Amino acid sequence: MKADPTQRFYAEVWPHAPEVQRLANILCQDPPAAEDLAQEVMLKAFRFIDRFKPGTDAKKWLFAVLRNCRTDRLRIEQRTAGHEQLSDFDWEPEAPPVVEEFSSDGTATPEQVLEAFSDREIIAALQRLPEEIRWTLLLVDVQGMDHANAAEVLDVPVGTVKSRAHRGRNMLREILRPVAARRQYDK
């Protein structure tokens, strides 16, 4: 007997809604846009629930839906707003500086430098990265997906995921390290 789509949706897909909303929050510049995106993803997942094979990874499938929705939205935005580069957004770091845990000689471990940034600041830094790099970090580091699964969601080879993750972390470091140094100097 064929399972009821509504039951399937609420049993297999809806439990992953928090992860979808979280990724949407990080991907989008403002909360209403994130909410709209998450809503579109869940409704599309319901509409195409027949394409989801029972027993397979619902989260991975849902992230692929999210990625498609996000890509469509970016295309529309780019058509209507010219060719604004995603990495060109200004970034205003949050005040106040938090560098108390830095040692007196001015050196700090990478962990200490990064812990001094709030989640919002880390997200703001992520939003300065190119979309493909950002997606890779979201799936591999934030969501903890292995490279193979992330590659399936992104539809790229595993090696590309590995190199993008590597580059993305270096790019984040280059964004955050000068801010941390400036804060320490200002202090």
* Binding region for another protein (CB under 8 A): 4, 6-7, 9-10, 14-19, 21-22, 25-26, 35, 38-39, 42-43, 46, 109-111, 113-115, 117, 119, 122-123, 126, 137, 141-144, 156-157, 159-160, 162-167, 169-170, 172-173
Q: Which of 51, 45, 48, 53 is nearest to 15 (CA)?
A: 45
Whole-number Å distance between alpha carbons of 9 and 146: 25
CB of 79 or CB of 101, closer to another protein:
101
Whole-number Å distance between alpha carbons of 137 and 148: 14
What 3 state SS string does 41-92 have? HHHHHHHCHHHCCCCCCHHHHHHHHHHHHHHHHHHHHHHHCCCCCHHHCCCC
User: Least Å distance between CB 131 and another protein?
Assistant: 14
Conformational region of residue 90, where left means phi above 0, alpha means psi within -120 to 50, and beta covers everything else:
beta
User: Least Å distance between CB 69 and another protein?
Assistant: 14
CB of 31 or CB of 106, closer to another protein:
31
User: Least Å distance between CB 182 and another protein?
Assistant: 18
CB of 80 or CB of 103, closer to another protein:
103
User: Least Å distance between CB 98 and another protein?
Assistant: 13
User: Least Å distance between CB 162 and another protein?
Assistant: 4
Q: Which of 67, 58, 63 is nearest to 132 (CA)?
A: 67
Conformational region of residue 55, where left means phi above 0, alpha means psi within -120 to 50, and beta covers everything else:
left
CB of 123 or CB of 179, closer to another protein:
123
CB of 33 or CB of 81, closer to another protein:
33
